[in-house]
Every structure is written in C-alpha cells, then in structure tokens.
C-alpha cells in the first residue's frame, strides 16, 4: 500500500526541550495505524506535527519533512493542512454554546459554506458516518454539550469529517470513555478506514491490536519499532518493544 503520510527525520521541541527525534514513518492510505508507548514518549507530539498543531504552542518548533501524498505540508498554508488532516482530541471538545447541528457545520461555515441545503446534506452524512445520526436526529437543535461523553466524542468526529479530510488523526480518543462508548468508537474507526487514512495514538495495547493494521512503538522520543500489528505484538524484533508489551515497564 502507498503511504498517504510520510514523516522524514521529524524532530520537535518545546522551547529547548527536544520531545521527538528523527522520526521516519509511513502511514498507509485507507488503513489504521496506531502509535503506542508509555506516557511522555512523544506520541501526541508526533501526531500534532502531522497537521501542524505543534506550531500553535509558544516556542515550539519542528524540523524534518511531513509529506501528504508526496507534498510537504510545511510548504502549504496551515489552514489548508488542517482541512485535509483532521484531528480528534483525547477530551471531547464540542462547542458548548452551539447546537449539535452547528457543531458539525462549524468547519464548513468557517470555510465559507452558506448554502443551507449543502450544509444540511453534509451534517446528515457526517453524523451518519460518525454513527451518531440515529441517536440525535430528533434533537439537532440541542446543545452539543448535552450529549453523553461517548456521544460528544462521536460529535467531534462528525465535525472533523464534515470538511471531508483525507486523514483523521485521533489522540487517545477513548481515554475518557467507558467500555461501551469505547467499543462504539472502535467500530467506527474500523468503518472509517474504508474512506480515510486513520492514525490513532493509544496507551491501550489491546485497542491497537483490535483496530490497527500497523503499529509503531515509541520510547523517550524515538521510534523503536514499526510493523504489522499482530507481528509486532507476537514477535517483536526489539527487546524494548517486548519489555513494553509484556508489561515490564510502561
């Protein structure tokens, strides 16, 4: 499979502190890639570099290349990059003063869409893709903040999907959710890969094993090992990887 996103020797800093170093990694098109590793190893920093969110932090900087379909995203306008590469965060963050409908339509409106029919169609399709339509179709005018935690997270996924990105980044999307809500998000991730390239950061190795074709293991800012998920878990090549997945540290 072709790489939809490729990082080449990506390093990132917070002020003088280097968070990740020389990460070269491919993310396959229409597949789910997981990034695992202990807290503080640079997983979230890496995916924030993939859609230029890292540079929004004061004194943060990035070196290296991030190629989206062969094009270096650091040579494109940041707003274009974030439209093509959507992101869902660990804590669901619906806009609390907006209705469910307006939450999903927000990105489209920001991009200048005013046609009500087109907005209606996009909201409907995005909520269906996020497996939320049946639960909210009769309450689209209610506040997005009135939904349960798992529903709020799916609303944020619908909001990200509404602008039709090519890639969806997910940073610990189930960390705050109960097992039932987590299972719904995992089922959703499985469906989304038919149309999108999905990159998920997770501290939950069982989750990586369930949803991802490829898994990368990071430790102390370095990429230690990457490979087909099952192979990485059953026959890790690196001692560090084996120690982590067998629970000797983490």
Q: Are 217 and 241 a contacting pair, CB within 8 Å? A: yes
Superfamily of domain 3-94+166-245: P-loop containing nucleotide triphosphate hydrolases (3.40.50.300)
Residue 57 backbone dihedrals phi, psi, to 5 degrees: -90, 130
| Cα end-to-end distance, the chain, whole Å | 31
Q: How would you list the strands of the sheet with 60-68, edge to edge? A: 17-28, 3-14, 60-68, 71-72
Helix or strand (DSSP H, E) at 161: helix 149-162
CA–CA separation, 201 and 208 (whole Å): 9
Q: Are 99 and 136 a contacting pair, CB within 8 Å?
A: no
Instruction: Answer yes or no: are the C-beta atoms of 106 and 138 closer than 8 Å.
Output: no
The CA-CA-CA angle for residues 114, 116, 120, to 5°, reads 120
Please tell me the predicted confidence (pLDDT) of residue 1. 66
- Edge to edge, the sheet with strand 85-88 lists 85-88, 167-171, 197-201, 32-36, 214-219, 222-228
The confidence score (pLDDT) of residue 139 equals 96
Which DSSP letter does residue 81 get?
A: H
* Length of the chain in terms of residues written: 250
- Per-domain residue ranges for the chain? 3-94+166-245
**Whole-structure pTM value:** 0.95
Q: Are 211 and 186 in contact (CB under 8 A)?
A: yes
Return mean pLDDT, the chain.
96
pLDDT at 111: 87
pLDDT at 116 (0 to 100): 95
Report the pLDDT value the prediction gives residue 131, as an integer from 0 to 100. Answer: 94
Q: How far is CA 181 from the centre of its chain?
A: 17
Look at residue 134 in the predicted model and tell me its pLDDT: 96
Report, as ranges of residue numbers, the positions in the chain whose pLDDT lies below 70.
1
């Amino acid at each position: 499979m072709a790489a939809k996103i490729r990082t080449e020797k990506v390093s990132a800093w917070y002020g003088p502190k280097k968070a990740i170093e020389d990460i070269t990694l491919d993310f396959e098109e229409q597949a789910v890639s997981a990034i695992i590793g202990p807290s503080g190893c640079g997983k979230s920093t890496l995916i924030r570099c993939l859609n230029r969110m890292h540079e929004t932090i004061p004194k943060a900087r990035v070196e290296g290349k991030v190629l989206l379909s062969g094009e270096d995203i650091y040579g494109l306008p940041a707003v274009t990059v974030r439209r093509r590469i959507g992101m869902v965060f660990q804590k669901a963050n619906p806009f609390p003063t907006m209705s469910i409908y307006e939450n999903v339509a927000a990105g489209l409106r920001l991009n200048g869409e005013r046609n009500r029919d087109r907005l209606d169609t996009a909201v409907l399709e995005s909520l269906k893709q996020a497996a939320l339509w049946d639960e909210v179709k009769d309450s689209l005018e209610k506040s997005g903040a009135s939904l349960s935690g798992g529903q709020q997270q799916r609303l944020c996924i619908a909001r990200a999907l509404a602008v039709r990105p090519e890639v969806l980044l997910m940073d610990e999307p189930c960390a705050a959710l109960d097992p039932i809500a987590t299972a719904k998000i995992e089922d959703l991730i499985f469906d989304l890969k038919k149309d999108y390239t999905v990159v998920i950061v997770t501290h939950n190795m069982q989750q990586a094993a369930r949803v991802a074709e490829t898994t990368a293991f990071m430790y102390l800012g370095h990429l230690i090992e990457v490979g087909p998920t099952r192979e990485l878990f059953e026959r890790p090549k690196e001692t560090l990887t084996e120690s982590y997945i067998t629970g000797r540290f983490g």
